[in-house]
């Protein structure tokens, strides 16, 4: 029996869903476009937010298939980004020390870098996990 990697956590997905009217859980599961829509429309006028409660298991499964597991944990990266992103701790966690220090000194590179990371953190972690695996 082939087991699939468990890169993302349903528990964290539901915890982020509590703030999901801002799109947090959608960004976490690798859906930046709808995450941005949820952010600007308060969870697509709260209707999408309520529906997402039932969609989280399938979003979790899709993320588990889409992103590469490895040394860097997605949940830790996302917790660091969500709660300490302006300090660059998520970048330091991934081994990106220079940009982590730049974020620390510039408030997440004046918040634009933070927005970029919300859009791309899953891909950044997946790429780092691939690179670490082959080195």
Statement: residue 10 has pLDDT above 90: yes
Structural domain of 12:
1-66
At 19 the pLDDT is 79
At 51 the pLDDT is 96
Nearest to 127 by CA among 70, 64, 77: 70
At 133 the pLDDT is 67
pLDDT digits (tens, 9 = 90+) for 15-26: 999 977 789 999
Q: Which residues contact 32 (CB under 8 A, 6 or more apart)?
A: 26, 118, 119, 120
Domain C-terminal end among 44, 66, 88: 66
Average pLDDT over residues 3-26: 89
Assess whether 56 and 99 both reside in one domain.
no
Assess whether 57 and 78 both reside in one domain.
no
**What is the value of pTM for the model shown?**
0.90
Assess whether 132 and 79 both reside in one domain.
yes
Structure tokens that stand for 13 in this block: 């997905």
Assess whether 74 and 113 both reside in one domain.
yes
Assess whether 51 and 32 both reside in one domain.
yes
pLDDT digits (tens, 9 = 90+) for 86-110: 999 999 999 999 999 999 999 999 9
Contact present, 115 and 121 (Cβ < 8 Å): no
Assess whether 134 and 90 both reside in one domain.
yes
Higher pLDDT, 33 or 2: 33
Count how many domains the chain has.
2
Assess whether 131 and 83 both reside in one domain.
yes
Assess whether 94 and 52 both reside in one domain.
no
Assess whether 37 and 74 both reside in one domain.
no
pLDDT digits (tens, 9 = 90+) for 44-86: 999 999 999 999 999 999 999 999 999 999 999 999 999 999 9
């Amino acid at each position: 029996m082939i087991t699939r990697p468990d890169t993302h956590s349903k528990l964290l997905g539901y915890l982020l869903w509590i703030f999901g009217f801002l799109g947090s859980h959608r960004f976490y599961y690798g859906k930046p476009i709808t995450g941005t829509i949820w952010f600007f429309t308060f969870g697509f006028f709260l209707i999408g937010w309520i529906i997402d409660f039932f969609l989280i298991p399938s979003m979790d499964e899709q993320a588990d298939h889409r992103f590469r597991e490895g040394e860097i944990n997605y949940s830790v990266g996302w917790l660091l980004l969500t709660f300490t992103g302006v300090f660059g701790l998520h970048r330091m966690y991934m081994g990106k020390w220079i940009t982590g220090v730049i974020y620390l000194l510039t408030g997440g590179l004046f918040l634009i870098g933070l927005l970029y990371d919300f859009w791309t953190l899953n891909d950044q972690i997946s790429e780092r996990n691939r690179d670490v695996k082959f080195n």
